[in-house]
Amino acid sequence: IEFYQKAILISEKIGDKWAIANTSRNIGKIYLEEYNYTKALNYLNTALNIAKEIRSYDLQKSIFRSLSEVYYAKNDHKKSLEFFQKYSDIKDTVFKIEQDRKYTISELKHEIEKEEKGNRLLQNELQIEELMNSRQKNLQGVIILAALLILVLLFFTVIRYKSKIKINKLLADKNKEIELKNNELLSFNEKLEENISIRTKDLQEEIEERRNTDVKLKIALKKADEANYLKNAFLANMSHEIRTPLNGIIGFSSLLLTELSILENEELYEYAKGIQNSGDRLLHLLNNIIDISRIEANDLELSLKPCSIPRIVKSVVALYTFKANEKGLTLNVKSEDVPEAIADETNLNKVLTDIIDNAVKYTEKGFINILTEYDSDKSRIIIRIKDTGIGIDPSYKSHIFEAFRQESLGYSRTYQGAGLGLPLAKKIIDMMGGQIDVESEKGIGTTVTLYLDESGKKTEIKAPEKTEIKPSIISTLEKVPELFLVEDDRMNRLVLRKMLDKFAKLVVAVDGEETLKLIEKYYNENKIFELMLFDINLPAPWDGILLMKEVKKRWKEYRKIPFVAQTAYAMSGDKERLLEAGFDDYISKPVNQNTLIYSIKNQLKKVEELK
């Protein structure tokens, strides 16, 4: 079979259909002997189709016989008889054709012999007649005939000679023309090859140059991606590493303020207040660094919608009224009746906070005026913040929107800061489609003007009121909830214990293994915790996400218990990632006591509603 199949391939290459049909028939007969009737039928039918195409009756006869044998072996006697009948019919047809052919050949031979015999008789008669004529002709007739023959021969010889000369001349001309064309073609081919060679060389050089450029671009892109990834990873890690101790600093300072205010220890209260202010300042700086890095990496998304500018300005100014009064500054706010602006309320609040914070920081005496007005010609809202502070030196004005630049550098700086307020404000305002201008004169003061586009909607969209939980109403739940806390940092455990001391019963674990042991212990005592508060960054091999999934996997009762993530990971996408992983809420460090308790109450309330 293997060699027959090779023979079929060779026959297909040379186009020998008879050989293909004959070989297919032989393969079919082999499969018949092996009792593989399906393959036998496939090959015999293929051979039959080709035999019919080339009208080979001998092959058809043999194939019909083999097909009859196959169907007989398969006990399909009806089919077997049908093909045997075809075999007999074609056998008779072939025999008849052969007999007719033999009869026709015999008849033809007989006619040929008869014709040859007649020709011989006719030749003999002609010869006799010629002999008789030749005898009757006289010598003169013989001479005339010979002369005529000679003339005819001479005539044909001359004509042939002239024709030969003419043909030779034409051949010579054609040869010269062909030679000329060959030379021209050879010259053209040489020029063409030369041009192709030059063009190919140019194309190869161009392709090589492009390939080198692509390689350089890919390397540069890879380096840029790696640098961006490393920068984001660095910021994420630094954010986590800074927020974790900040949680302890701000948390303890907040608790100290509460305790010292109760003890009425004014000196220590001021110390604690200084600690909290420093922590808040450090957190503000960290947030600004992360925000400006996210903007440069195109990672900050804004939610633009109609906003009430006077309301936003009023809420920000309220934060700085006390600080301005403390420095003896007059803080004036004047708001005209302006339409809503299209802006991101959260980030506009951040921009105004940074600008007003700078105005209060760099103004020692005088006033700070905040004006809100509407430019009807350009359909935009204007927010103007003017102070009588130290102003900006003319040589520094071109650098005010460059991040990390400051007018005074080195050890002799009068005012502290990282130089991120105005650069961050400009980038955010630009993303909102607005504009920011700064006018300043050294020793006179500074005016910062923001321009925002009108939203086009006259209806005011009221901002949702934020629910604030005060420490005085912490324990208003009907019963004290039982919570489970996982936190590996000792200082953060102390802060959280103190924050939740009067609000809930707390069981604390420091890592994943201790968590699973404690939960199993209390589970065996038929005790299920009402809420799980997990830190995300835990000692290996666990993290908060894996630990949450393991708890839900081992104890199905915890699939209905709320899990709250409290973590120092506060980069873009961290909250969404944790919520998608299965957490019910997310609190970023430093943890605010009111925010923490509000989140816990909110989750416990949802559980009660589901019951």
CA nearest to 290, candidates 226, 251, 245, 241: 241
Q: How far is CA 292 from CA 32, 82, 269, 588, in A?
A: 83, 90, 34, 19
- Coarse DSSP helix, strand, coil percentages of the chain, rounded to the nearest 5 percent: 65, 10, 20
Look at the alpha carbons of 421, 425, 426, 427 in this order and tell me if their dihedral is positive or negative: positive
Q: CA–CA separation, 161 vs 167, rounded Å?
A: 10
Q: How far is CA 170 from CA 101, 160, 185, 580, in A?
A: 51, 15, 22, 94
First to last CA, the chain: 77
Enter the pTM of the model. 0.37
What stretches in the chain show pLDDT beneath 70?
92-112, 115, 118, 133-134, 218, 221-253, 255, 257, 269, 271-274, 276-301, 396-399, 401-421, 456-478, 568-574
CA nearest to 381, candidates 488, 453, 289, 482: 453
What contacts 47, CB < 8 A, 6 or more positions away? 20, 21, 22, 24, 25, 28, 59, 63
CA nearest to 339, candidates 289, 299, 298, 382: 382
- Cβ of 400: how many Cβ atoms within 10 Å? 19
pLDDT at 408: 47
Tell me if 272 sits within 8 A of 256, measured CB to CB.
yes
3-state secondary structure 321-381: HHHHHHCCCEEEEEECCCCCEEECHHHHHHHHHHHHHHHHHCCCCCEEEEEEEEECCCCEE
If you ran DSSP here, which 8-state letter would residue 582 be given? Answer: T
405 burial (CB, 10 Å; 0-12 / 13-18 / 19+) is: middle
Q: CA–CA separation, 251 vs 283, rounded Å?
A: 13
pLDDT at 176: 86
CA dihedral angle for residue 100, residue 102, residue 107, residue 112, rounded to 10 degrees: 140
CA dihedral angle for residue 305, residue 310, residue 311, residue 317, rounded to 10 degrees: 120
In Å, how far from its chain's centre is CA 93? Answer: 71
pLDDT at 144: 87
pLDDT in tens, 505-553: 999 999 999 999 999 999 999 999 999 999 888 888 899 899 999 999 9
pLDDT at 461: 36
If you ran DSSP here, which 8-state letter would residue 466 be given? Answer: P
Only one residue has tokens 């440069």, namely: 296
Tell me if 452 sits within 8 A of 343, measured CB to CB.
yes
Q: CA–CA separation, 82 vs 251, rounded Å?
A: 100
Strand ranges across the sheet with 330-335: 330-335, 367-375, 380-387, 445-453, 435-441
384 three-state secondary structure: strand
- Cβ of 81: how many Cβ atoms within 10 Å? 13
Only one residue has tokens 């509603």, namely: 609
CA nearest to 379, candidates 333, 436, 337, 338: 338
